[in-house]
Amino acid sequence: MLFANPHARHEPYPDALRELLDLERARECRRWLAHWDQIASPTPLRPLPGLARRLGVGAIDLKDESLRSPLGSFKALGAPVALLRWVRRQYPGRDLDPAALLAGRHAAELAELVVISATDGNHGRALAAAARSLGCRCVIVLHAHVSKEREAAIAALGARIVRVAGDYDESVREAARLAREHGWQVVSDTSYEGYEAIPRDVMQGYAVIVDELLDAAPADGPCPWTHVFVQAGVGGLPAAIVSAFWERYGVARPLFVVVEPEQADCLLQSARLGRPTRASGPVDSVMAGLACGEASPLAWRVLQPAVDFFLGVADAAAVQALRTLAAGEAGDVPVLAGESGAAGLAGLTVLAADADGARRCGLDARSRVLLLNTEGATAPALYASLSGRSAEAVRKAQARWTSAAAAPRHDGEDRTTARAGPPMTAERHEQDYRSEAVARLRADLAIALRAAAHHGLAEGVCNHFSVELPDRTGRFLLNPRGLLWSEVRADDVVLVDAAGNRLAGRHEVEPTAMFIHAAIHRLCGQACVLHTHMPYASALTLIAERALDTTLSQNAMRFHGRVAVDAHYHGLALDASEGERIARAMQGADVGFLGNHGVVVCGARIDHAYDDLYYLERACAAEVLARSTGWPLVPVNAALAAQVGRQMQGERLQSELFFEALRRTL
Ligand SMILES: Cc1ncc(COP(=O)(O)O)c(C=O)c1O
């Protein structure tokens, strides 16, 4: 959902906002934080030219806040500033030195002070670390959906943890209540009536990000970026970012797009209503840092006149963006971006795939886009399950990429477009086809096809499974023309390019086979694409809802938030444009229901994608059976379905064991 903010203004930065946020204070925060051992400054700005080409924009630069701090996120800029300012206000006339405070030189005096805050992870961790450095005590209130590993990271910094049963907003209320009861000080990143000074100081800390970016921008030149995408929870981060750009560039400021989870869209809804309000959905999201139900009124004062567009994205799009960055797709540097960190890229990807949305935002081949990766793997186990690789593996891949990029090249070839290995000759295709890694992949693709036949998911000799070669050279493995899926063996699988030209293998391929597959690989960044006309899922593409209801059976809930619908059947996909239209309709989701046609299931790995395909058909079968009774259906609420979906996404061992069993038996 894209919403154009009717209140956005392109005029000089208003004086009324200068009181709240200005670059002078951002610079002061930067000077103070230079004395804190938990901060690295500046963080890198990473060009992503491969991704820019893929998404059809001129340039993408990613400010990488995953390296801001051992605390894992940009939030390390806000809490310490607010805490320093508050402590200094407690001792008027003493002008306590921020460097001395951060070094713990006043710890003895501060030992009885208690600060408290609610958090969905990152702010609380930053506050706990800052309190420990200064020497005061800290209580952190967590809501029901904050993971155990996030809790452990905060507790390890010496904070006392309080759990509440509700969501983020409930934890904010509980923190305020405890503070009143015990005389503690709330140091929150969100504002509410009568509580503004501290969240303002938090936001001023975040503006350090832009201050660093502007260091490298030409003094009198135009803004280096035409579009800035910023993800939001309560709005403090985007308020800090957009105000700093607005102040510096005035009427020539870039266009601002704020990205939120679609079920935690409190800012989009505030824009609609014209005042801060609640989200329209159940709030809970895989993007834990953005799962906020109420806008910060203080942040809203800045956002309402500044933000051009608000965009809601599905959890599936964020997970896909996280994987894209981890894999260093399209030849770009691999980046460690957590679920909330990747949300800006998710927004850009969704918009780039939506011709009308892109046009409305003026996003085209001339656009230079700035994204922020606001966190690293702040919940490492969840990160590994979502991305399919550990944080450590991504760090190592990044280090390898960086040292390869730094090595002198003598062939004049651009590092970001360079293809791995020797030139693309027939010999190379043949060699790669026979290599051990590709032979394993061929064997797995053949297993998936035979399993699909065994499970009743095949139709004649039609439809295809494809998987991209791991070297990301735009080559794919595909099933051959004219063979039943039940008879396909590893040696029957064919190596093709994106146009469906056979590069290696003994069989022909269906000329149109790659139209849907190539577009989904390219536009959605998916490694494995399975397209079937499997009966029960296809049956649900024929009914008014066009897809399965992910709040009915437990099997269906694993797909909650991961399904896109293409309701516009246009006949057979006989050319690339129809494939691209379908890929765009996928909106970054793993599962696409193609109206009057069939389904597409995608994934980063064959075993995970096949497991999804199989359970999708099982879930659709259950729904068709239940509907066929004519008796009333009993769905669960969306929040529960989302929770089950996350539980299943976070536990992929079953998928791997299932595929292992298929390898043994088929
Ligand atoms: C990683 C990450 N990114 C973005 C945000 C959004 O910040 P805000 O709530 O200030 O809008 C958060 C908030 O916790 C976060 O943790």
3-state SS track over 482-536: CCCHHHCCHHHCEEEECCCCEEECCCCCCCCCHHHHHHHHHHHCCCEEEEECCHH
Atom 14 of ligand 1: nearest residue by CA position: 289
Beta strands per DSSP E along 144-221 = 160-163, 185-186
Of 610, 652, 16, residue with least CA distance to 385: 652
Active-site option among 75, 167, 211, 607 = 75
**All residues at 6 or more sequence positions from 352 whose CB lies less than 8 Å from its CB, including other chains:** 55, 56, 57, 358, 363
pLDDT at 589: 83
The answer to whether the peptide bond before residue 42 is cis (omega within 30 degrees of 0) is yes
Q: Whose CA is nearest to atom 13 of ligand 1?
A: 289
In this prediction, residue 117 carries a pLDDT of: 97
- For the chain (length 666 residues), average pLDDT per consecutive 10? 95 95 96 94 90 90 96 97 97 95 97 96 97 98 92 96 92 95 97 95 98 86 95 98 97 97 97 95 92 95 98 95 91 94 97 93 94 96 90 90 63 39 81 93 97 98 93 88 97 93 94 86 84 98 96 96 88 79 81 95 93 98 98 93 84 90 95
User: Ligand 1, closest atom to CA 292?
Assistant: 9
Residue 444 is among the residues annotated as catalytic for this protein: no
Indicate if 148 belongs to the active site: no
Amino acid (one-letter) located at 225: W
Answer for the pair 185, 290: CB distance below 8 angstroms, yes or no: no
Q: How far is the CA of 388 from the centre of ligand 1 (A)?
A: 24
Please name the residue whose Cα sits nearest to atom 2 of ligand 1. 289
Hey, what amino acid is at 302?
A: V
pLDDT computed for residue 331 by the predictor: 82
Q: What's the per-residue H, E or C state across 58-93?
A: CEEEEEEHHHCCCCCEHHHHCHHHHHHHHHHHHCCC
Question: Which of 447, 509, 451 lies closest to 478, judged by CA?
Answer: 509
Q: Helices (H), strands (E): how many in the chain?
A: 28, 19
Amino acid in the structure at residue 591: V
Most informative mutation of 168, 231, 257 for ligand 1 (most atoms within 8 A of CB):
231
pLDDT of residue 32: 97
Q: 190 alpha carbon to ligand 1 midpoint, in Å?
A: 10
CA distances from 345 to 47, 231, 259, 413, 583 (A): 13, 9, 9, 27, 17
Q: Report pLDDT for 407.
A: 57
- Going from the Cα of 470 to the center of ligand 1, the distance in angstroms, rounded, reads 33
Residue 391: predicted pLDDT:
94
156: tokens are 């390890």
Cα 534 from chain centre: 30
Q: What is the pLDDT of residue 415?
A: 40
Q: Is 307 helix (H, G, I), strand (E, B) or coil?
A: coil
- Structural contact between residues 276 and 312, judged by C-beta atoms closer than 8 angstroms: no
Q: Is residue 449 packed enough to be buried (19+ CB in 10 Å), middle (13-18) or exposed (0-12)?
A: buried
Q: Which residues line the pocket of ligand 1, CB cutoff 6 A?
A: 73, 75, 120, 122-123, 189, 231-238, 289-290, 292, 340-341, 374-375
Give residues with Cβ within 8 angstroms of 511, minimum separation 6.
500
Strand partners, 311: 2, 259
pLDDT (0 to 100) of residue 406: 63
Residue 518: predicted pLDDT: 87
**Domains located in the chain, CATH noted:** 2-74+203-399 (3.40.50.1100), 79-188 (3.40.50.1100), 422-665 (3.40.225.10)
Rounded Cα distance, 257 and 254, in Å: 10
Q: Which of 61, 63, 64, 120 is catalytic?
A: 120
